[in-house]
Chain A
Amino acid sequence: MNNSFIALLRRDFLMILRNKSEWLQPLFFLVVVVSLFPLGLGPGPTLLARIAPGVIWIAALLASVLSLDQLFRSDYEDGSLEQLMLGNQSLSLLVFAKLLAHWLTTGLPIIALSPLLAVWLNLPMEAFPTLVKSLILGTPVLTLVGGIGAALTVGLRGGGQLLALLVFPLLVPILIFATMGVSAVAGGMEASAHMGLMFAYLIMSLTLAPFACAAALRISIS
């Protein structure tokens, strides 16, 4: 494996991990957003069970896309992003390392936390594995597609909201596939078709998004 890829992944991972607020904030955000729904809609267990997949997924989407605003920002501000771009390494690969570091510190904790949130919202037990599976397939897409938006908005004022405006329409399919799948299993049906489509979408974004992301960075920093 490419040395610079490993080195950048390690650096980014450690930097996010040591800056506790950076990886804890999205998680707290997720928990608070999910808890607002029972408070706003009333504690009826049947209603909560029905909306649980959507609520958890929308909260996960918000938490991970809003945290993406930080993805390139600090590197952009201290100039190290330009150094990465000037080097002779493939920028797509380096961007992929940064995206992977982001997913490891945001996506993975969200997945780990999701069963807890599902218990809160009274989701039927048999839908738990599908919820986790949908998040395993879906959270990398949030990071990958969101990364394109983050690269386009790096260095702009008020980037966070603009990033959300750019990226949310693109993430509509993943939200639909995931929540329909989880709801199907909660209703006693199969979700293999939904998971298959999510997997296809994941493969597509894995192969295309790093290149789009690198191209976007080249445009933003020129």
Chain B
Amino acid sequence: MTKNPIMLFIHKTGSPGYFYWLSGKMIPWLWAAFFIFAAWGLYQGLFVAPTDYLQGESYRIIYIHVASAWMSMMIYGIMAVMGFIALVWHIRIAEILMISSAPIGAAFTIIALATGSLWGKPTWGTYWVWDARLTSELVLLFLYLGILGLHAAIEEPRKAARAVALLAIVGIVNLPIIHFSVKWWNTLHQGSTINLAGESTIDISMLVPMLVMAIATKFFYGAVLLSRARVLLLTQDLKKQWAARTIKNPGVKP
């Protein structure tokens, strides 16, 4: 019996019944945090932050666009990490979380692409250009579609999860190379305005709402991810004891 509290937590959440109970407790809090952050961030971003002297009001789309683009990349990274955990330690919850992340990541990618092209029309004068960042975001969407396609093609759920895990890891190895090759190929997108090292070129009054939105989308992701994972877990385990117990009296700690 392990005494290490961290290991204990990992082993406990690895059990489907406990995960189901714990995630059920977390979801309302995640939604609440999302609504608070998003309300404040959107209000500040859309009404309070100053108008850009060059791009006018259209720049305000960044409060959705940047957060979505960050999420699209972060979720792919999370999938790869979960995939690694699933392949090495055979932890089923990691498989479930990885699979449940894929549609959310794909949706964020589509939102980033759509808002980007809407912003491109007034700024660049066209909805779509084969610019480096747009193109690597598009390739990222294709990677997500490949993962969803592979998962849909394999019937046995655990085998599908392991295949997807391997594909996600191969993808994450390639992703930086794809990014830099495309960047070299063509660049029109404005350069990074937010740099962790060194000076950011965005005003603080515009930056803060954007970061708040970035935090808000993380809570959104957490809430949606856990909801999806719960449903997936329950449908896969419908014939197991813990599922029957949970359905009979939901909300009771196992």
Contacts and interface: CB of A to CB of B under 8 A. Distances in A.
Interface of A: 148, 152-153, 156-159, 162, 165-166, 168-170, 172-173, 176-177, 180, 197, 201, 208, 212, 215-216, 219-220, 222
Chain A interface main SS type: helix
Contacts of A159: 153
B149 A165 contact: yes
B159 interface: yes
A176 B149 contact: no
B188 interface: no
Given A166-B149, A222-B159, A212 B181 contact: no
B162 A172 contact: no
B167 A152 contact: yes
B252 interface: no
Nearest to B162: A219
A207 to B, nearest CB: 12
Given A173-B181, A176-B182, A177-B181, A215 B145 contact: no
A156 B154 CA distance: 7
A170 B162 CA distance: 19
Contacts of B154: 156
The 8 closest A-B CB pairs, nearest first, are A173-B181, A169-B142, A166-B146, A219-B162, A176-B181, A173-B177, A156-B153, A176-B185
Contacts of B184: 176, 180
A170 B185 contact: no
Contact of A212 (B150, B170, B185): B170
A170 B171 contact: yes
A24 B93 CA distance: 47
A157 B153 CA distance: 8
Given A152-B150, A177-B181, 7 more contacts: A148-B170, A156-B154, A162-B149, A165-B149, A173-B178, A176-B184, A180-B184
Given A169-B146, A216-B163, A201 B177 contact: yes
A219 B142 contact: no
B173 interface: yes
25 contacts: A148-B166, A148-B167, A152-B167, A156-B154, A159-B153, A162-B150, A162-B153, A165-B142, A166-B146, A166-B149, A166-B150, A166-B167, A168-B142, A169-B178, A170-B178, A172-B178, A173-B181, A176-B182, A212-B169, A216-B163, A216-B166, A219-B159, A219-B162, A219-B163, A222-B159
Interface of B: 87, 139, 142-143, 145-146, 149-150, 153-154, 159, 162-163, 166-167, 169-171, 173-174, 177-178, 181-182, 184-185
Contacts of A176: 181-182, 184-185
A180 B178 CA distance: 14
B175 to A, nearest CB: 9
Given A165-B145, A166-B146, A173 B166 contact: no
Contacts of B139: 169, 172
Given A152-B167, A201-B177, A172 B182 contact: yes
B153 A158 contact: yes
B178 A152 contact: no
Nearest to B153: A156
A62 to B, nearest CB: 16
A177 B180 CA distance: 11
